[in-house]
Structure 1
Amino acid sequence: MKLTIIGCSGSLGSPAGPASGYLVQAPGAPGVLMDMGPGVLAELQKVVNPSEVHVVFSHLHADHCLDFPSLTVWRRYHPSLAAQGRNLLFGPAATVEKLGRLTSDAEGHVDEMADTFAFTPWQARRAELIDRVQITPFPTVHPIESYGLRLVEATTGKVIAYSGDSAYTEELVACAQGADVFLCEATWGATSMGKAPDMHMCGGEAGLLASRAGVKQLILVHIPPWGDPEGAVRAARENFDGEVIVGEAGMEFEI
Structure 2
Amino acid sequence: MELKVIGCTGSFAGPDSPASCYLLTSTDGAGRTWRVLLDMGSGSLGELQKHLDLSEIDAVLISHLHPDHCVDLAGFYIAARWDPRGWKGGQISVWAPAGMGDYLARTHSMPSADILKDQIDFHDWAEHTPVTIGPFTIEPYRVLHPIEEPYALRVTEKTADGETVLTYSGDSDACEGLTRSAREADVFLCEAAYMEGRDDAIRGIHLTGARAGQTAHDAGARRLLLTHLPIWNDPETALAEARQYFAGPIDVVTPLGHYTV
Aligned to 1:51: 55
Aligned to 1:146: 150
Question: Which of 66, 69, 92 pairs up with 1:61?
Answer: 66
Verify the 8 A CA contact 1:51 1:81 in the aligned structure 2. Answer: no
Aligned to 2:123: 120
Q: TM-score, normalised by structure 2?
A: 0.92
Look up the equivalent residue of 2:124 and give its one-letter code: P
Deviation at 1:81, TM superposition (A): 6.6
Deviation at 1:101, TM superposition (A): 2.1
Unaligned runs of 5+ in 2: none
Unaligned runs of 5+ in 1: none
Aligned to 1:78: 83
d(CA) in 2 for partners of 1:190 and 1:245? 18
Matched residue SS, 1:22: strand
Matched residue SS, 1:6: strand
d(CA) in 2 for partners of 1:120 and 1:46? 27
Verify the 8 A CA contact 1:208 1:239 in the aligned structure 2. Answer: yes
- Aligned counterparts, 1:160-179, within 5 A: 160-179=166-185
Matched, 1:157 2:163: yes
Look up the equivalent residue of 1:2 and give its one-letter code: E
Matched, 1:203 2:209: yes
Verify the 8 A CA contact 1:5 1:252 in the aligned structure 2. Answer: yes
Matched, 1:238 2:241: no
Greater shift, 82-91 or 200-209, is seen at 82-91
Verify the 8 A CA contact 1:148 1:163 in the aligned structure 2. Answer: yes
Matched residue SS, 1:210: helix
Deviation at 1:29, TM superposition (A): 3.1
Q: TM-score, normalised by structure 1?
A: 0.94
d(CA) in 2 for partners of 1:75 and 1:82? 5
Q: How many residues align?
A: 253
Aligned to 2:259: 253
Look up the equivalent residue of 1:25 and give its one-letter code: T
Verify the 8 A CA contact 1:189 1:229 in the aligned structure 2. Answer: no
* Identity of matched residues, %: 38
Verify the 8 A CA contact 1:127 1:134 in the aligned structure 2. Answer: yes
Matched residue SS, 2:37: strand
